[in-house]
Structure 1
Amino acid sequence: MALLRDPERGCEWDIAQSFATIAPYTIEEAYEVADAIARDDMADLKDELGDLLLQVVFHARIAEEAGLFDFDAVANAIADKMERRHPHIFGDLDQGGHHLWEQIKAEERAAKADAKEDQGALAGVALGLPALLRAEKLQRRAARVGFDWPDAKGPREKIDEELAEVESATSDEERAGEIGDLLFVVVNWARHLGIDPEAALRMSNAKFERRFRFMEAAAGKLFVSLDLEAKEALWLEAKADERRG
């Protein structure tokens, strides 16, 4: 990467990049890692992990050129964090686990917040996260300071309220806002049920794609010309095929 970024001998495209221009590729590569895992393709996973590692190297090189930090500092920082968050393994404590991990994370956030203007409960929830994941993180942060329903009944009843507001909206802008509120509360309901909404939606995406491809394969070139009733019949056949399989 140092050679690729060399002003005289490097690659024009690599030289022109910055943290901001590379960030979308970093996110994309992380998703491709998750996709390889979902497909249980270990050969592809190896390649995708390499692509993701390259993103870390790329960012670290840009930082090193700016005199900020280098790749060794990145690796050392995460090693230090793992040791700090596992004192029951690397330190003197006899017991630990996820509860201790969360406690230490909270203490670290509090220490960071002391040096920043934004010290609210929602500080530090990254704007670049996928919307469903960010919604869940915002809700979890709010719950830590007592702003939460006591059980799943609250968000479930709120879904009906939000549906009614979507239906009563009088403009596209208002309707979009109400749909957003509906999605947000569905995430909240999933959280109370102990379900990862991002993973649940990925499963539904995969299910839809699988059934739709079955429909296309069953109908062949005639699929596009079929009416909705015929396509619905194929959809039900695809569902039945899944149950048999």
Structure 2
Amino acid sequence: MPADPQADPLIHDPEGGISRLRAIMAALRDPASGCPWDIAQSFASIAPYTIEEAHEVADAIARGAWAELSGELGDLLLQVVYHAQMAEEAGHFGFDAVVRGISDKMVARHPHVFGQESRDKTADQQTADWERLKAAERAGRDEAGVLDGVALGLPALTRALKLQKRAARVGFDWPSTDEVLAKIVEEAGELVAAQESLGAEALAEEYGDLLFVLVNLGRHLGLDAEASLRQANTKFTRRFSYIEAALHAHGKRPEASDLAEMDALWNAAKAAERG
């Protein structure tokens, strides 16, 4: 790369593709001529942005904002290039190793497409095969425990679901939703009882237990807790916006209203949604 990034034709080539993005990232991280903020970053400082960008991709998809999705995917791709650049600088691996690794993995995990296995399987059978191949990969990494390899950085609801699925594969699971519902009642009762007698830390533990069992109920019902809660968040936002709009039409703001009025408007929003 030229010492002066302004003189690098690749950086200014709109058709430069992934090579252009990698050159831009390398220039930003150059100790002599790069951006001071980018030079100061580390894996740990960039990781939260990586998570944030992944959520923004999911948000654009959930909203059907297809015009925004290209840009959000670009932001997420930048995160991959950023981490790979820092890894190359530290002598760990480079971007090509990232691409090679995921390409090899996808070929290995799809023998029914790239190998000799038959494609004549149901989606559930393909999922079972995928999990079997992943288990073999974990064994090769000396991940002996059933729960090994479930990333700590996942959103808590998603990680709870993955932990439960792993445990269920070896038989540690309730046989039906009846037992899960009974456990929810038990955990809810313990939380209510704990309000008066337990400190904040113990109360948080009881609350976490209840959330964990609720995730399990969703799993037994074939529902994803993370996706379901996102939908609930969207619904709450939509209905509260209805309340704000209705109050605004009468020259009022929520803080000038009261719970009874806002609750009535909430019910009106529900009725309007039902048609």
- Normalising TM by the smaller chain, what interval? over 0.9
Partner of 2:191: 166
Query: 2:268 matched to 1:237?
Result: yes
> Structure 1 CA distance, aligned partners of 2:127 and 2:165?
15
> Structure 1 CA distance, aligned partners of 2:175 and 2:102?
36
Query: 2:130 matched to 1:101?
Result: yes
Instruction: State the shift of 1:240 in Å.
Output: 0.6
Deviates most, 201-210 or 96-105: 96-105
Partner of 1:90: 114
SS at match of 2:132: helix
Instruction: State the shift of 1:158 in Å.
Output: 0.2
Decide which of 89, 102, 105 is 1:81's aligned counterpart. 105
Instruction: State the shift of 1:154 in Å.
Output: 1.4
The sequence identity of aligned pairs, in percent, is: 60
AA paired with 2:178? K
Partner of 1:53: 77
Instruction: State the shift of 1:106 in Å.
Output: 1.2
Instruction: State the shift of 1:98 in Å.
Output: 2.2
Partner of 1:197: 225
Partner of 1:151: 176
> Structure 2 CA distance, aligned partners of 1:72 and 1:111?
22
Query: 2:206 matched to 1:206?
Result: no
Query: 2:241 matched to 1:183?
Result: no
Partner of 2:165: 140
* Structure 1 moving runs of 4+ over 4 Å: none
Query: 2:258 matched to 1:227?
Result: yes
SS at match of 1:3: helix
Segments of 5+ residues of structure 2 without an aligned counterpart are: 1-24
AA paired with 2:104? D
Query: 2:59 matched to 1:35?
Result: yes
SS at match of 1:120: coil
AA paired with 2:174? W
Partner of 2:11: none
8 Å CA contact 2:138, 2:144 repeated in 1: no
Query: 2:42 matched to 1:18?
Result: yes
> What pairs up with 1:57-72 in 2 under 5 angstroms?
57-72=81-96
CA deviation vs aligned residue, 1:34-75 (integer Å, no higher than 9, x gap): 000011111111000000000000000001111111111101
Partner of 1:216: 244
Partner of 2:8: none
Segments of 5+ residues of structure 1 without an aligned counterpart are: none
CA deviation vs aligned residue, 1:158-199 (integer Å, no higher than 9, x gap): 000001100111123222111110000000010011001100
AA paired with 2:241? R
CA deviation vs aligned residue, 1:58-96 (integer Å, no higher than 9, x gap): 000001111111111101111100000001110111245
Partner of 1:123: 148
> Structure 2 CA distance, aligned partners of 1:129 and 1:173?
22
> Structure 2 CA distance, aligned partners of 1:110 and 1:119?
6
| Larger Rg, first or second structure (1 or 2) | 2
Q: CA RMSD in A?
A: 1.1
Instruction: State the shift of 1:139 in Å.
Output: 0.7
> Structure 2 CA distance, aligned partners of 1:13 and 1:139?
41
TM-score by length of 1: 0.95
> Structure 1 CA distance, aligned partners of 2:259 and 2:112?
60
